[in-house]
Amino acid sequence: MAEQLKVERTHDGAVLAIEMARPEARNAITVAMYAALADAIESAAGDESIRLITLRGQGQDFTAGNDLMDFMQEMPQPGGDQDIPVWRFLRAMANNEVPILAGVQGNAVGIGTTMLFHCDLVVVEQGARFKMPFVDLGLVPEAASSLILPDLAGRRKAARYLLLGDRFDADEAEAIGLASHVAPEGELDRMVDEVVTRLLSLPVQALRLTQKLLRASDRQAVLTRMEMENAHFAERLSSDEPRQAIASFFSQRSKTP
């Protein structure tokens, strides 16, 4: 798993740096990667030496979302004894009490967009593209995006992005409050480094307490909505619609030159 998800301590151990490292697959996330992501986020909870978490994708894209083939083959069955790794990762993000900063370039598809709702700061490079094609795939949104996105963008825009699966760009991400910063093309690393430096210069406890206060008012609502979405998602996984939609996706992709 170390070759697909890199987790290291940087800045003298103050930063837990997480990098999705499947550039050849546009950082599509496997079930095993979700488990490793959950482990990494959860590991920061009791470690006072970790002052910041960074989340990046290697190569030209942040992430193309789920690795659909792996997802359908390896996903534990809902209702079984084994916790589903993607949901454990999303709960870890929602419960996280360490400031988390994401740097986003290229495509951020599906969970590549929705996980950003649970980051405290999101630096987006010009040229980035966001898309949440859950309905296209016969599924429903996750990560409490059906709650958070209407709060950010309004219900009409949320319907465009969640029902129709319309793409949006870096400027729109900033306009609706998904992005905290927009970096000029080619300057994502520089801007991420600048924000990391600023965060590490701040008083540690004041930073953590403020991050907790920012999340406190809606944490339970977010977790409750996640469970509601998960129940519908599980029902969808046992139906024919998503299997047909995903089979159609692979069929169309195979016809693309």
What digits encode the pLDDT tens for the residues 219-238?
A: 899 999 999 999 998 888 88
What number of CA atoms fall less than 13 Å from residue 37's CA on the CB side?
A: 28
- Dihedral pair phi/psi, residue 19, rounded to 5°: -135, 125
Q: Is the pLDDT of residue 78 over 90?
A: no
Contact of 4 with 32, CB cutoff 8 Å: yes
Q: Are strands 168-169 and 121-125 parallel, antiparallel or unpaired?
A: unpaired
In the predicted model, what is the mean pLDDT of residues 10-14?
A: 97
Bridge partners, 52 (sequence order): 15
Whole-angstrom distance, CA of residue 111 vs CA of residue 38: 14
Map out the domains of the chain with their CATH numbers.
5-184+218-255 (3.90.226.10)
Rounded (10°) angle between helices 219-237 and 145-153: 120
pTM (predicted TM-score): 0.93
pLDDT in tens, 16-51: 999 999 999 999 999 999 999 999 999 998 899 999
User: How far is it, in rounded angstroms, from Cα 121 to Cα 131?
Assistant: 19
